[in-house]
Amino acid sequence: MVQADTDSELASRESVFSLQAVEPTPEGEGGVLGESDIDADPLIGLPWFALFVRPRHEKFVQRVLDCKGYLTSLPLRKCTHARRNGSDWENEKPLISRYVFVRHDPDNRFHMVTTPGVVHIVRFGNEPCPIPWQQIEALERIAASGLPTADWVYPGIGDTVKLVEGPLKGLEGVMTRARSATRLVVSVPMLQRSVAVEIDCTWVIRVQPASETSAPVRSLTSVRVAQNRRMLEARAAG
In a domain? residue 9? no
Q: Which of 105, 114, 119, 131 is nearest to 187 (CA)?
A: 131
CATH number at 151 reads 3.30.70.940
Q: How many domains are there within the chain?
A: 1
End-to-end CA distance of the chain: 67
pLDDT of residue 164: 95
Question: In this structure, is residue 16 part of a structural domain?
Answer: no
150-181 per-position pLDDT tens digit: 988 887 657 789 999 999 999 999 988 877 78
Distances (CA, A) of 25 to 38, 43, 72, 75, 237: 12, 10, 12, 17, 35
pLDDT band at 223 (very low <50, low <70, confident <90, very high): very low
Residue 14 lies in a domain: no
* pTM greater than 0.75: no
Query: In terms of residue numbers, what domain contains 141?
Result: 25-237
Which positions ≥6 away from 94 have C-beta within 8 Å?
58, 74, 75, 76, 77
Does residue 226 lie within any of the structural domains? yes
pLDDT at 8 over 80: no
The answer to whether the beta carbons of residues 113 and 68 sit under 8 Å apart is: no
Give the CA dihedral 30, 35, 40, 46, nearest 10 degrees: 100
197 pLDDT above the threshold of 70: yes
In a domain, 10, yes or no: no
pLDDT at position 46 is 86
Left if phi > 0, otherwise alpha if psi is -120 to 50, otherwise beta: which for 56? left
Is 177 part of a structural domain of the chain?
Answer: yes
| Distance (Å, whole) CA 103 – CA 20 | 21
Kindly provide the b/e burial profile for residues 108-125, where b requires at least 16 CB atoms within 10 angstroms of the residue's own CB: ebeebeebebbbebbbee
Tens digits of per-residue pLDDT, 36-85?
A: 443 334 556 789 999 999 999 999 999 999 999 899 999 999 988 888 88
